[in-house]
Amino acid sequence: IKEPLLAPSLLAADFLHLNKAVKLIDESEADWLHMDVMDGRFVPNISFGMMVVEQVGKVLEKPMDVHLMIEEPEKYVTQFAKAGADTITVHYEACPHLHRNIQQIKDLGVKAGVAINPHTPVALLEPVIEDLDLVLVMSVNPGFGGQKFIFETLYKIRQLRQIMQDRNAKALIEVDGGVGLQNAAKIMEAGADVLVAGSSVFGSEDPMETIKKLKSLGNL
């Protein structure tokens, strides 16, 4: 199995010391920093918004992977791009005019991703798959860190890989929610490219070491 791109999620970091968390990511083997923006409407929780993303963007050296769990993302993507997002991911379920959302993100010079909730079939992405830089397959219902990985996700990753092969689509497959050392290899085997990890990284005793282990899928 290939080595994953790893995107630790800031949601599980100590919010009083975000600077420390950002430095840790920059000095670690992690590839991107994943930022979870929640609006209390699309998901039943509020995390952080523009101002935090902006401040983190000023110090972060690695690519910033912004996951928007918000309604009407078209109102805010310009600001997130300016704040330093390298990838902006919007939710399929929050976008009745998805082509327009994707084009808007690309016009800002940012990579475009679409996320699907655990119950949303991957086939729904067929009409846009060739336009995407990233597909984010949620492996928990979005809104909170520390939830249990939904096993069904593995089938969805395989299906998506097949669809992408048939269409020669180049998007990266990112998996988010309940990812840790216990399932990382299985998820990669199913066909993922990028793993998001929140509590399994920042909740561990030695986040730096955990990142290293996740990158090597436990084969250190």
Distance CA 201, CA 26 (A): 14
Catalytic residue positions? Answer: 36, 176
Distance CA 97, CA 72 (A): 10
CB of 22 to ligand DX5, least distance (A): 16
Contact with Zn ion (CB under 5 A) among 39, 133, 174, 176: 176
Residues 181-220 interacting with ligand DX5 (rule: CB under 6 A): 196-200
| Binding partner of 198, given ligand DX5, Zn ion, none, CB within 5-8 angstroms per partner class | ligand DX5
Binding-site string for ligand DX5 from residue 12 to residue 31, where x marks contact by CB under 6 A and - marks none: x-------------------
Residues contacting residue 92 through CB under 8 Å, at least 6 positions apart: 98, 114, 115, 116, 117, 120, 124, 125
Among residues 36 and 133, whose Cβ is nearest to ligand DX5? 36
Among residues 150 and 220, whose Cβ is nearest to Zn ion? 150
Distance CA 27, CA 61 (A): 10
Residues 134 and 111: beta-carbon distance below 8 Å: yes
Residues 136 and 89: beta-carbon distance below 8 Å: yes
Binding-site string for ligand DX5 from residue 60 to residue 99, where x marks contact by CB under 6 A and - marks none: -------x--------------------------------
